[in-house]
Amino acid sequence: MFKITTLITAMALFLGGCIDRNGASQSDGGRLTLKTVPSSMTVSTRNGDVAVVADPNLTSVSVVWQAHLHAGEESHAAYRAGLTSLSQDWSREGHVLLQAAFAGTDHPDDGMNLIVHVPDLNGLTIETTHGSVVTHGTQGRLTIHNRQGSIAVTDHKGDARLATSNGSVMVNGQVGELIVQTTNGLVQVKDLVGQPHIKATNASIGLELAPGQHGPIFLETSNAPIEFEIGPQFAGTILAETTNASIKLIDSANAVRRVEDGPSTKRITMDQAGQASHIRTSNADIDCRVADL
């Protein structure tokens, strides 16, 4: 359900258009096909949504884009919209940069939405502002920089570095190291095969590791709760810290060897030796579940 709903949401936002704070506006769009498949890709836009869907059966890259241009008069906005395009810049190594190229006098509300279908790539970078970002089935190193918007990643194979503000971060089915940095938004990670490093501000964190994971995990936020679920194979110690709140542990798998309680901490030692994990928040609860996965 997570995969389907996030992709549908991306399409709906795409059709809904970009922000329009003042002045006249006009929209125009187009399609781009890359017969040469790049080794890696960067997609760069602003004030717009980006959806990237990978399909190993594809033999080319296809892009649908829609731009929204602004100006003082309707005719000028229409003129700018007709000249706006999506540029491509190739490197010798086979990397391609797809970038929104806005025509005429720049306006802060100019924006472009993109839906990209790609075959297997060995790396993907997405940059946008005031929009949502959705990826599905990608592989290689994934980097997403989003100012003021949500991020949703499903079934990514490879390391991922995700950064945003004022938007949720949802990750499902990733295989690889996960680094997340955000403010003022929910972080929800499910079925992760890899090590998470999540640092947030005023944002709740939820984590469920895939079965068989040993850790460690690093989760930090403030003024928001943290919930995480691990399996009996998890190794090492877990140091959980909070203030003005409680730390709860449910060990359904009987995999915890020792628990040491402090004034605002709980040190959980698992049956298996391993690296240390750190969980930290303030003014909110921490819930740890050791499930028989």
pLDDT at 11: 47
Q: In this predicted structure, what is the pLDDT of residue 181? A: 97
Measured CA to CA, the distance from residue 101 to residue 90 in angstroms comes to 15
Flag the least confident range among 99-103, 121-125, 271-275. 99-103
Over the chain, what is the mean pLDDT? 90
Average pLDDT over residues 62-86: 83
Range scoring the smallest mean pLDDT among 6-10, 45-49, 63-67, 93-97: 6-10
pLDDT at 17: 45
Give the residue, 267 or 71, on which the prediction is more confident: 267
- Examine the pLDDT at 10 and tell me if it is beyond 50: no
Helix, strand, coil share of the chain (percent; to 5): 10, 50, 40
Name which residue leads in pLDDT, 257 or 78: 257
What is the rounded average pLDDT of the residues 228-243?
A: 97
Burial of 212-226, coded b for 16+ CB within 10 Å and e otherwise, reads ebbbbbbbbbbebbb
> Could you tell me which residue, 113 or 21, shows the higher pLDDT?
113
Distance, CA of 180 to CA of 169 (rounded, Å): 8
Looking at the predicted structure, is the pLDDT value of residue 68 above 90? no
- Cα distances from 267 to residues 31, 192, 193, 240, in angstroms, run 55, 23, 24, 6
Q: 102: pLDDT confidence band, cut at 50, 70 and 90?
A: confident
Mean pLDDT of 70-77: 77
Q: With bands split at pLDDT 50, 70 and 90, how would you rate the model's confidence at 4? A: very low
pLDDT of residue 22: 52
Q: Are 75 and 121 in contact (CB under 8 A)?
A: no
Q: Residue 188's beta-bridge partner residues?
A: 170, 206
Which 8-state DSSP code applies to residue 39? S
Residue 235 CA to its chain's centroid (Å):
27
175-192 average pLDDT score:
97
Spatial separation of the C-alpha atoms in residues 120 and 266, rounded to whole Å: 44
Q: Are 67 and 110 in contact (CB under 8 A)?
A: yes
Q: SS3 for 190?
A: strand
More confident residue, 10 or 35: 35
> pLDDT band at residue 21, thresholds of 50, 70 and 90?
very low
User: For residue 76, is pLDDT > 80?
Assistant: no
203-219 mean pLDDT: 97
119 pLDDT higher than 60: yes
| Average pLDDT of the segment spanning 45-66 | 96
DSSP state of 57: T
Cα–Cα distance measured from residue 234 to residue 231, given in angstroms and rounded to the nearest whole number: 6
H helical segments located in 53-163: 74-83
Residue 247 and residue 232 in contact, taking contact as beta carbons nearer than 8 Å: no
Alpha-carbon distance of 130 to 24, in angstroms, equals: 19
Q: What is the pTM of this model?
A: 0.90
Rg of the chain over all Cα atoms, to the nearest angstrom:
22
**Residue bearing tokens 């040993």:** 214
